[in-house]
Amino acid sequence: MLSENKYLYNGKELQDEQLGGVNLDHYDYHTRFYDPALGRFTTQDPLADEFSSWTPYHYVHNNPINLVDPTGMAATKYEDEEGNTLLNTNDGSDAVVTVTDDKRQGFDAAVKGTKNTDDVDWNKSMKAYALGFNLSDKQETALSRLNSDWSRKGAINYWKTGKGGMAFGLKEVLSQWTNPELVVHGIAAGVAGFGAVSRSRVYRVYGGDSGPTGRSWTPINPRRVTGFRDKAGLPSGGASGYNNTGRFVVDGIVDNRNIVGSQRAIPLDGNRGGLPEYFIEPGNVMIKRVSGVNPEF
């Protein structure tokens, strides 16, 4: 059986964290980075190692919240309690379903009894049989946005038991990233697609020719990024003709519905870009803090 504890995470600093007096619990993630499908590049990103779990850019969409992983070839994977694969089906779902021992006989019989294990309806029935509930379209969408079978299994376990929270995302990310800030964002990446995600913490570095109320924000805390100017692709007095001095940082919170789009920063003035960049209309960010930076970014 799947252990509930397998997906638990004792991240109290995340559960209890307050931001500017705003309580932000697990289901109201204070930081978030959407599914990699939001910002896929056609080229190798200079920060590929740092953001190794992100997929390369493919095409931008205006509404990241409604994005569905377009990679296709989704397959429901049925596993036994030991994690051994019993069946892979090409049914357009990314579900990873554990068939418990008590349902194994029925599962095996159903497999033998069908002519097409790729059939969508057959798989819906089998998933419902194995899980004890029907996966909703919303849940299927969420599964398509997770990065690994491990996370998908964790998500299903969460829906099945109501326990385990979002930790499945964290564990996965911890295995890939060591930067705490990225881990935090990775948690959210692991759960992107859940309706519970409602707000994100965002940052804007400005100064000089750049003001505090522009459309470009990042979900990554600039204070925790080495070489932020380079990775953010800030205008730096080169051919762009302008200079963002990086003298100030705005910390804000945005309702996710107001994030119009997301991309990785593009190179400019010798800065390589690569950091995630959110596009938000002025006035839609709740400013929590403005602070000076010394030395400047």
Q: Could you tell me which stretch among 146-154, 177-185, 189-197, 259-267 binds other proteins (CB under 8 A)? A: 259-267
The residues in 151-210 that bind other proteins, with binding defined as CB under 8 A, are: 206, 208-210
Structure tokens at 262: 């997301």
Q: Could you tell me which stretch among 1-9, 121-129, 183-191, 266-274 binds other proteins (CB under 8 A)? A: 266-274
Whose tokens are 């804000």? That residue is: 252
Closer residue to other proteins (CB): 176 or 213 = 213
Quote the CA–CA distance of 80 and 90 in Å, as a whole number.
18
What is the smallest separation between the CB atom of 242 and other proteins, expressed in angstroms? 5
For residues 84-115, one letter each, b for 16 or more C-beta atoms within 10 angstroms of the residue's C-beta and e for the rest, the string is eebbebebebbbbbbbeeebeeebeebeeeee
Closer residue to other proteins (CB): 20 or 267 = 267
What is the smallest separation between the CB atom of 252 and other proteins, expressed in angstroms? 16
Quote the CA–CA distance of 214 and 210 in Å, as a whole number.
8
Quote the CA–CA distance of 87 and 85 in Å, as a whole number.
6
Q: Could you tell me which stretch among 28-36, 56-64, 168-176, 192-200 binds other proteins (CB under 8 A)? A: 56-64
- Asked, as a colleague might, if the bond just before 235 is cis with ω within 30 of 0, I would say no
Interior CA angle at 153 toward 161 and 98, to 5°?
80
**261 and 61 in contact (C-beta within 8 Å)?**
yes
Q: Determine how β-strand 96-98 pairs with β-strand 76-79.
A: parallel
215 binds other proteins (CB under 8 A): yes
What is the smallest separation between the CB atom of 141 and other proteins, expressed in angstroms? 21
Q: Could you tell me which stretch among 47-55, 79-87, 108-116, 235-243 binds other proteins (CB under 8 A)? A: 235-243
Which of residues 171, 187, 273, 285 is near other proteins by CB under 8 A? 273
Which of residues 36, 233, 246, 252 is near other proteins by CB under 8 A? 233
216 binds other proteins (CB under 8 A): yes
Q: Could you tell me which stretch among 74-82, 139-147, 167-175, 268-276 binds other proteins (CB under 8 A)? A: 268-276
43 binds other proteins (CB under 8 A): yes
Which of residues 15, 23, 52, 62 is near other proteins by CB under 8 A? 62
Which of residues 58, 124, 247, 288 is near other proteins by CB under 8 A? 58
Q: Which residues contact 134 (CB under 8 A, 6 or more apart)?
A: 124, 127, 128
Q: How large is the C-alpha radius of gyration of the chain?
A: 21
Whose tokens are 């803090």? That residue is: 289
What is the smallest separation between the CB atom of 68 and other proteins, expressed in angstroms? 17
What is the smallest separation between the CB atom of 86 and other proteins, expressed in angstroms? 38
